[in-house]
Amino acid sequence: MNRPDRFIEDYSQYVYGREYSTTRIQHDVMAETVRMPVFGIKNADHAMMGIITDGAGRAIANASVNGKRCSYNNAYMEFIYRDSDMVLIEKKAQTVRVLEQNPPKPGRYRIRYFFLEGKDANYVGMAHRFGEWLLGEQKSSVSAVPLYMEIMGGIMARESFLGFPVNRVVPLSTYSDVQEMTKRLASLGADKLAIDYVYWNKDGTGAAIPNGIKPEGRLGGKKSFKNMLNFLKQNGTEIYLDFNFTDMVKSRWGFNTRFDSASSIQRSPALQYAYRINDLKAILTEPQFLLNFIKIKQAAGKVADAADKYDFTGVSANTLGQKVYSDFSGKTVKRDTADKEIQSILRGLKDAKEKQLLSEPNAYAVEYADHITDTPIYSSGYMVETYTVPFYQIALHGRVAMSTPAINTMSDPQQGVLKAFESGIGIKYHFIMKNCNRLESTPNNDIISSLFDDWAEEAAEKYVEIKDVLNTVAAQQIVSHRVITQDVRETIFSGGVKIYVNYGNRDFSERGITVKAGGYTVSGI
């Protein structure tokens, strides 16, 4: 019998994303990154799941429907024994494949399997088992869910100075602006805030690898920076300073783009590019370099040593949580063990300030986060995917405080609010205070709809609307998640609270519960 499923393309994605040390002139098709090294499959009241315990960075997650390879659905992992890269030989105008030398030993790859029965034989049961394996009995220290904000400090842009073109920092949100934002939101009822402050340091987006804490003069300088930190502490606002330890924009003393970068397979510096939105092709004139892990440890150590001099809540080393890569030179580590190196670095940063915030981290970084922002709320939308479930959030709920991606950058912000209700997590906004027109001619031109004055009232209103419900379930586990219809979801928490959300354009009613179109209903409080 001919079934339409036979023509659906298999699911196949790299765990933690593609190897960053390989050349990528063309960006991959936009898809959700596999952040957790886990897979599973079920049949009736029986289920099996696997967790990669070693070598996840060189794994590929696969799934296919029945009728293609065999008469059964398939879910499995495969490992890359010897990686490869494509190299252009200009004289011959040919592209050849170069193979990795000295690949890791196969014994480094391990998967642990679990078998689930009865009521646990579903994606909720799998998520619980994965959360237990990842974090044990860890409980979230956050009792009140904050309004999360990512605030951009300054961008490096071309300006005219005395008639000459120069590159210098253009302020988007100065240190005094951050204080004004928190004052305004507090006056509107947003009484609990957590800030992820990015590009706050010297040179903003054009900053070299950090070797300490150095405020940017055009954002207010050292005195204004300290005033901001003191103000936020007095008002109970948490602020996490972002440090990029992986991407070298330029050389500085002790961190050279030529000698200290991780090597690609062809033994040249591993380059990173920004990509054009219209065709996803790399902007070759603006490369960045991946720093090797010896130098990352050195930089992180200097930041940790300097942290005592400033009174901020913690570090948000977001790229360390998201990027795991190889150094093919053989001087440091490859991707199968790089996650262990990153864990050591994150542990040191957290010890320096006790708290840490990470944006959409891979599984290896989760245990070092007190707050996780930008948790994935959508699937990639492949035809093989029937519907989206909040696996990431179910696994971690009650163990770590979490948020949605910035909802003011979504095409429909109300969808983001409903996703927050469905998974019991906080909401996040992306803000800048001024100079939004200056983003157009920079690599950050994809940032839209982030001007604080346009969103302040709505952000506070949405936070006030959801905070009581989310505070009630913040420390609770998600014990059940049900896809009632294509548009309606039911989530049940361990304290008995039930939340229904309706993504459709028609009202829904079931067993005395009515959920308005584009709305939600809460019971059990």
> Structural domain boundaries of the chain?
1-244+294-475, 484-525
Which amino acid is present at 180?
E
The residue among 177 and 22 whose pLDDT is bigger is 177
pLDDT one-digit tens code per residue, 385-408: 888 999 999 999 999 999 999 999
Segment 125-147 mean pLDDT: 93
Residue 386 phi, psi (nearest 5): -80, -50
Residue 213 has pLDDT above 90, yes or no: yes
Q: Exposure of 87 by Cβ count < 10 A (0-12 exposed, 13-18 middle, 19+ buried)?
A: middle
Residue 90 burial (CB count, 10 A): 6
Alpha carbons 460 and 149: distance in angstroms, whole number: 11
Predicted model pTM: 0.93
Could you write out the three-class secondary structure of 502-513?
ECCCCCEEECCE
The DSSP string of 481-502 is EEE-SSSEEEEEETTS-EEEEE
Q: Is the pLDDT of residue 134 over 50?
A: yes
Classify domain 1-244+294-475 at the CATH class level: alpha beta
Confidence category of residue 89, pLDDT binned at 50, 70, 90: low
Q: Could you give the C-alpha distances from 515 to 162, 413, 478, in angstroms and in order?
A: 62, 18, 20
* Residue 510, beta-bridge partner list: 513
- Rounded CA-CA distance 493/481 in Å is 9
Q: How far is CA 64 from CA 30, 483, 524, in A?
A: 20, 22, 39
Rounded to whole angstroms, the Cα distance separating 324 from 424 reads 29
Per-residue pLDDT at 90: 61
pLDDT at 3 over 60: no
The residue type at 17: G
Q: Cα(391)–Cα(361) distance, rounded to whole angstroms?
A: 14
Q: Packing angle between helix 175-187 and helix 452-473, nearest 10 degrees?
A: 60
pLDDT band at residue 62 using 50, 70 and 90 as cut-offs: very high
Residue environment code for 451-461, b if the CB has 16+ CB neighbours within 10 A, otherwise e: bbeebbeebbe
pLDDT in tens, 412-455: 999 999 999 999 999 999 999 998 877 776 667 667 789 999 99
Per residue in 339-367, pLDDT tens?
A: 999 999 999 999 999 899 999 999 999 99
Mean pLDDT (whole number) for 52-79: 90
Mean pLDDT of the chain: 91
How many Å apart are CA 29 and CA 308, to the nearest integer? 43
Q: Is the confidence at residue 1, as pLDDT, over 50?
A: no
Q: Which DSSP string do the residues of 197-212 spell out, in sequence order? A: EES-BTTGGG----SS
